[in-house]
Amino acid sequence: MDGRRVDRQAAERIGRNVFMARRRAGFSQEELGTLAGLHRTEVGMVEKGERLPRVDTLLKLAASLAVPVGELVAGIEWIVPAPSRPGTFAVAKG
């Protein structure tokens, strides 16, 4: 990792969403990477939840998969920080 704090549950959920969309589209990781202008290993790291993708990467993946970005982040909600707690992600089960 590059030192940024990564929410593992959010990364894993996005990874699962990308994986499912890629499989539905019938692409290999390499084919999706080529369409999105990403290396195959980047696609694999996202799918395994090892990397939380940046917004530009999500846009590239969504466009290449012909799905709305919302489908790739489905099941993840940002809980706004309050004086008594920091902001956090809420990730739906399943």
* pLDDT reported for residue 22: 98
**What does the CA dihedral 27, 92, 9, 6 come to, rounded to 10 degrees?**
100
Tell me if 63 is assigned to some domain: yes
What angle in degrees, to the nearest 10, is found between the helix axes of 29-36 and 8-25?
100
**Position 3 pLDDT exceeds 60:** no
Strand ranges (DSSP E) for the chain? 76-79, 88-91
pLDDT category, 1, cuts 50, 70, 90? Answer: very low
* Residue 39, domain member (yes or no): yes
Here the CATH number for the domain that contains residue 56 is 1.10.260.40
Biggest distance spanned by C-alpha atoms of the chain: 46
Does 2 map to a domain?
no
pLDDT for residue 4: 53
Q: Residue 56's domain spans which residues?
A: 8-91
Phi, psi angles (nearest 5°) of residue 84: -95, -5
Model pLDDT for residues 30-89, shown as the tens digit of each residue: 999 999 999 999 999 999 999 999 999 999 999 999 999 999 999 999 888 888 888 888
**Residue 1 counted as domain residue:** no
pLDDT score for 89: 85
Q: 3 lies in a domain? A: no
User: Could you tell me if 64 and 49 are in contact, meaning their C-beta atoms sit under 8 angstroms apart?
Assistant: no
